Amino acid sequence: MKKLLFLLLGTFTCFSQSNRFIYEVTSKKDSTSENRIKENFNLDTTSDNIAYYNRLYYVNDSLFATKNQYGYKGYKLTSFLIKKNNSNEYQNYEYIGDVNFYKINEKVGQNWKISDSTKAFGGYKVQKATTQFGGRSWIAWFSKDIPIPYGPYKFNGLPGLIMELYDVKKDYYFKVIKSEKITEDYKRVSLDNSISRAISVNQAKLDQLKLELYDNPFKYIMNGRLALTEGKKLELEDGTILTKEQLKPAEANERKKIKAFNNPIELDKAVKYP
């Protein structure tokens, strides 16, 4: 990892520089299963804002820049976060599986307890800190050598970049695996497209929308808001392919899948499905 991160040394005297930190995220999204999902997320820090998003968006933008096409096979819409540098609010762009993104503005901070414990991580000296957040107990390891007060997801406020983070049950584990400079010509086209059509809601409304989607998982096709013409098929995230006629019989299985994802990062915001 030291070779991947060597460009970090000496580059953070100026906060206007644009840098990207890539986190490997291992998560257990179903508390009843031992299965874990491994994904990569980008944390972009620029003079305007920070953005935390699934690296699939970056890959999609790169594909468009080189081949002028979107939507490679592994691409999918996921939730992401933006925070402007002149604001203490996060804009949380939630994708819940329908045709829209929903935006929630919220002030987020953690009350950290910084320990004297240190260790080596990727060639850096990192220091331990703990906090309670989202209904979980968290342990973070941050580096003062990289004086950026952010980390993955909504974690912030430490005197250095969070290099490693996990909850005590290890349901969620984040670690920096690489860093890179953000080129001047890079544009977050995929994110900007999602931001432009996002609908502002509060947490209660978002929970209501999730329950409505649980009650009627394919309502946006059934009511015509998302077209599925005769002969066309819908591919679900797990690879299941359905015709329009197969949607109604598949609802029970789709509800089962929605209900299984009951272990979000912020556990205290888990929706209580029937």
Query: What pLDDT is stored for residue 73 in this prediction?
Result: 67
Burial of 105-141, coded b for 16+ CB within 10 Å and e otherwise, reads eeebebebeeeeeeeebbebebbbbbbebbebebbbb
Mean pLDDT per 10-residue segment, the chain (274 residues): 46 61 96 93 95 94 75 79 92 87 95 98 95 98 95 97 97 96 88 94 95 84 49 57 65 87 95 92
Query: What pLDDT is stored for residue 226 in this prediction?
Result: 46
Q: Is this model's pTM higher than 0.85 or not? A: yes
Query: What pLDDT is stored for residue 14 in this prediction?
Result: 43
Q: Strands 136-143 and 161-167: what pairing?
A: antiparallel
Q: Which fold has domain 2-181?
A: outer membrane lipoprotein receptor (LolB), chain A (2.50.20)
Query: What pLDDT is stored for residue 25 in this prediction?
Result: 98
Query: What pLDDT is stored for residue 97 in this prediction?
Result: 76
Domain ranges of the chain: 2-181, 202-269
Query: What pLDDT is stored for residue 10 in this prediction?
Result: 42
